[in-house]
Structure 1
Amino acid sequence: MDWDHLRYFLELARTRKLSAAARRLDVQHTTVSRRIRALEQIVGAPLFTRSGGEYLVSEAGRRLLPQVEAMEAASLAVLGTAPARDGELSGVVRVGATEGFGTVVLAPLLARFAQAHPQLVIDLLPLPRNVNLSQREADIVVSLERPVRGNAVAARLCDYVLRLYASPDYLARHPPIRSRDDLPQHSFISYIDDLLFSKELRYLAELCRPQRYALRSTSVLAQHQAVALGAGIGVLPAFLADGDDRLCAVLPEEAQFVRTFWISMPKENRSIARIQTIWSLLRSSVQTDKRLRPPV
């Protein structure tokens, strides 16, 4: 049986969409469709059913899937015995991360690494939502919560600090903030409660119950701009706000939070040299980034 057919079957089973599988395989979606039809003719049964635009594994597909995964694991183990040397890394590595961390911390780091490895393509997904590892949206995911299910390897990446910030102009135009008791009367910039993608973002409730929100957004970058322009005060990651001269910390000793970033990847990715290299790069570089060090 042609391994290429099985590889296409595996990607479609994981992503559930022709377009997503095609991106992962770097081919046209018509090629994926053609390969699946050819494999179904060999097997003698349909391997997928269509539902709401997704390809769901059929009963015959479920019987085939563990055998193909075992073949993939054996293949990766063989490839993993000969790690690539610097300069030989090639292929695509997709990294998912939270929006602010992915944009401010990971983008410069990965851009520099990509310059040194011209045969390597890095897809960076800095999104204001969880990047789904189980559906293979990315090869490596940096998240606010440790994955608790699935066939994944997970590790603590780093802690980071959040503080309450405002612009000097806003503070000059509004009553002074001397303690937490002064906070409720001020205008806040924050997340939209019913669209929060992680419980780790519910830190504002630990400070006060705001009487007014000037702007709420699913995007921390949008919140950052709104606070910097004087629309209100908000809780922002220090790695995002401390380098912005338009902002100053409010109640820096009282209004401070520490959260954790976790890094994870599917277990089968451990033997892929380019993915393992990016994993090691993120862990070593981020842990020494001074912007992410919590206060002693």
Structure 2
Amino acid sequence: METDRRLPSPDDLLILLTVARLGRFNAVAETLGTTHTTISRRIIALEKQLGGRTLSRTPRGWELTALGAEAVRAAEAIEESLGNLRCALARDADPLAGLVRISTVDGFGAEFVTPALVRLQAEHPRISVEMFSATRKVSQNRSGVDLEVVVGHTDVSTAQSIPLGHYVLRLYAAPGYLQRHGIPQTADELSGHGFVSYVESTLLVEELGHRSTGLPDPRSTFQATSIFAQVEAVRREAGIGLLPNFMVAGREGFEPVLATEFERRLPIWAVARPEALRSPRVQAVVSAIQAEAAARQDLLAS
């Protein structure tokens, strides 16, 4: 008779859920306040208990296998049950009470998603939010989040894409940088300048990187995975940066470069699985983000 397999640890299942949400062990370790090695060890232990691989490595990060998707569904049920228990203990009558998990690009997330969710939470105090910054394309197999806010073109058959509008990327530099290095008058002249952008080797949304712009190779680069680090690098005169217009337009310390010759306009979407959109909480979050983007469309798309 085969020895009974011990049930997997709920903690390990929840770690797998976070990996499914973020896609990378380093990001999971930072979120959970532990180390990459610990996350890897816990996943290995979980896979031993389950008898197979839960994750496969792809250029976009870790993706769930069929077994991993089954395990994540169990983890989601655990979190849903814990959320229901939390509401019951609080004797909460608000139908929007509970946890909503959102993955979003960080600049748009800070400027538009955050105020929308804070306002929604003020109206419904029993809503809890977990927001994860991730600049990536939507995945056919993504699990662990209720809603993804993504940039660029979507091609999904298992989820619903909800348009939030477009935003504009333009070239900016600090006044002091332009005084020292000169103001380029044509795109070709950018080859003599430093350039600030995303780390190309880790970039999952090609439209955000320098390589896809058609601009000449710069003299030097300052690359960062965080758009906030890029904005700060431009402000501190590291070079000319390809930045979201809504983050810097009109701010002191940022001068437009080739303003009439170059811009990039990208669509932004909220994407969710049909089962997630059946949740009143998720519906309310989508509506709040849509309202925020619509109310500030002049800033978003200017």
Q: Which residue of 2 aligns with 1:49?
A: 51
Q: Does 1:284 align with 2:291?
A: yes
Q: TM-score, structure 1 length as denominator?
A: 0.70
Aligned-residue offset at 1:199: 2.1
Q: Where do 5+ consecutive residues of structure 1 fail to align?
A: 1-7, 25-46, 70-85
Report the Cα distance in structure 1 between the residues aligned to 2:261 and 2:116, rounded to whole angstroms: 32
Which of residues 232, 235, 239 in structure 1 aligns to 2:242? 235
Q: Match of 2:287, as an amino acid?
A: S
What's the secondary structure of 1:51's corresponding residue? coil
Report the Cα distance in structure 2 between the residues aligned to 1:186 and 1:151, rounded to whole angstroms: 44
Aligned-residue offset at 1:272: 1.0
Residues 137-175 of structure 1 show CA distances to partners (whole Å, capped at 9, x for unaligned) of 310111113442352111222101111000001011112
Paired residues in the alignment total 240
Q: Which residue of 2 aligns with 1:200?
A: 207
Q: Match of 2:301, as an amino acid?
A: R
Residues 197 and 210 in structure 2, CA contact (< 8 A), matched pair in contact too? no
Aligned-residue offset at 1:126: 1.9
Residues 207 and 255 in structure 1, CA contact (< 8 A), matched pair in contact too? no
1:1-296 alignment runs, 5 A limit: 17-21=13-17, 48-51=50-53, 88-130=95-137, 134-202=141-209, 205-289=212-296, 290-294=298-302
Aligned-residue offset at 1:208: 2.1
CA 1:145 to 1:162, structure 2 compared with 1: closer, same or farther past 3 Å? closer
Residues 165 and 269 in structure 2, CA contact (< 8 A), matched pair in contact too? yes
Report the Cα distance in structure 2 between the residues aligned to 1:257 and 1:135, rounded to whole angstroms: 27
Larger Rg: 1
Q: Match of 1:19, as an amino acid?
A: I
Residues 51-105 of structure 1 show CA distances to partners (whole Å, capped at 9, x for unaligned) of 37899656xx79xx9xxx9xxxxxxxxxxxxxxxx95420011111112111222
CA 1:23 to 1:137, structure 2 compared with 1: closer, same or farther past 3 Å? same
CA 1:203 to 1:158, structure 2 compared with 1: closer, same or farther past 3 Å? farther
Q: Where do 5+ consecutive residues of structure 2 fail to align?
A: 1-6, 21-48, 57-63, 78-92
Q: Match of 2:190, as an amino acid?
A: L
What's the secondary structure of 1:227's corresponding residue? helix
Report the Cα distance in structure 1 between the residues aligned to 2:231 and 2:216, rounded to whole angstroms: 20
CA 1:281 to 1:211, structure 2 compared with 1: closer, same or farther past 3 Å? closer
Return 277-286 or 205-214, whichever deviates more: 205-214
CA 1:270 to 1:214, structure 2 compared with 1: closer, same or farther past 3 Å? closer
User: Percent identity among equivalent residues?
Assistant: 27
Aligned-residue offset at 1:263: 1.3
What's the secondary structure of 2:172's corresponding residue? strand
Report the Cα distance in structure 2 between the residues aligned to 1:174 and 1:22, rounded to whole angstroms: 45
Aligned-residue offset at 1:20: 4.4
Q: Which residue of 2 aligns with 1:35?
A: none
Aligned CA RMSD, in angstroms, stands at 3.5
Report the Cα distance in structure 2 between the residues aligned to 1:249 and 1:285, rounded to whole angstroms: 26
Return 196-205 or 161-170, whichever deviates more: 196-205
Q: TM-score, structure 2 length as denominator?
A: 0.68
Q: Match of 2:300, as an amino acid?
A: L
Q: Which residue of 1 aligns with 2:25?
A: none
Aligned-residue offset at 1:191: 1.9
What's the secondary structure of 1:112's corresponding residue? helix
Aligned-residue offset at 1:130: 4.6
Report the Cα distance in structure 2 between the residues aligned to 1:226 and 1:21, rounded to whole angstroms: 34
